[in-house]
Amino acid sequence: MVILLSAFGIVLLGAFAQAVSGFGYALVTVPLLAAAVDPRAAVVVSALTGIGLTLTAAVRERAYARWRVAGALTATALLGLPAGLLVLARAPERLLSALIAAVVLGCAALVWSGARIRTGRLGLGAIGVIVGVLTAATGTNGPPLVAAFHSLGYDPRTFRATLAATFSGTSLIGLTGFLLAGQVHADVVRISLVALPAVPLGWWLGNRLFHRIDPVVFRRIVLVGLLGSAGAALASLAG
C-alpha cells in the first residue's frame, strides 16, 4: 500500500512538472519511482502512465508543434531502441541509476551554460538515436530534446508542443519494445493502474500555472527541474 500511494504522489508531481515545463514527467517519475521499486519497473511504470499524457498534450497543442522535427526525431529513435532495451534487460540496477544521473546532470549543464548544440539534419539525427536508447534504457529521454529545442530558440508554447509530439512517438515505440522484451508484467501493471488517475489531476494543476509564466521564468523552471531530477537520481544511486 505504501508503494502504491507513493507511486500516486510521484506520478502527480511528474504530470504537474510536465504541464509546466513540457518535459518533466519521466525525469521526475523515473528517479523517484526507482527509490520505491527497482529501476526497471520504474522505467516501465513511467512509460505506461505517461503515454496518455503525452498523446493528449500533442493533440491539444498540435497547432504549435513542429511536426517535421518531431517526426524526424521519432524515426531516428527507432535506431537506438534495440540498444536501450539491451541495457534495460542486462545492466545492473546501480548502473541504470548512474546512467539516469549522468544524463540529467549533463543536460542541466547544457542549459545552465547556454551552450548551443548542432541542430542540423545530422545533429537532429544523432539526437534521435540517443533519445531511442534512453527511451528504452532509462525512460528519461527528455534531456537531449530539451537542449536541442533550446538551441533552436523555440518559445515556450512551441517548445512544449514539439516535445509532446516527439514524446508521443517515442513513447509508442518504447512501449512496443517493452512488450516485446517481456518487461510489462503484473506488478508494473498494478502500480500503473493505481497511479494513473494522478496524471490528469497533475496536468490540470500544472496547466493552470503554465499560462501565467513569462519566457524568462519558464527557462528557470526548466533548469530547476533538471537539477532536481539529477539530485533525485544521485540520491537513489547513493542508497
Cα distance between residue 5 and residue 9, in whole Å: 6
* Ordered per-residue pLDDT tens for the chain, 239 residues: 788 899 999 999 888 877 777 667 887 888 788 878 888 899 999 999 988 888 888 898 899 999 999 999 999 999 999 999 999 989 887 888 777 777 767 766 766 666 666 667 788 889 899 999 999 998 888 778 877 887 788 888 898 889 889 999 999 999 999 999 889 999 999 999 999 999 999 988 888 877 777 656 766 776 776 677 667 666 666 65
Q: CB under 8 Å to 182, separation ≥6 — which residues?
A: none
Tell me, what amino acid is at 201? L
Cα distance between residue 162 and residue 68, in whole Å: 10
Positive/negative CA dihedral, 27, 29, 35, 40: negative
Contact 195, 8 (CB under 8 A): yes
Contact 105, 223 (CB under 8 A): no
Cα distance between residue 239 and residue 127, in whole Å: 31
Q: What is the DSSP string of 153-169?
A: T--HHHHHHHHHHHHHH
pTM over 0.85: no
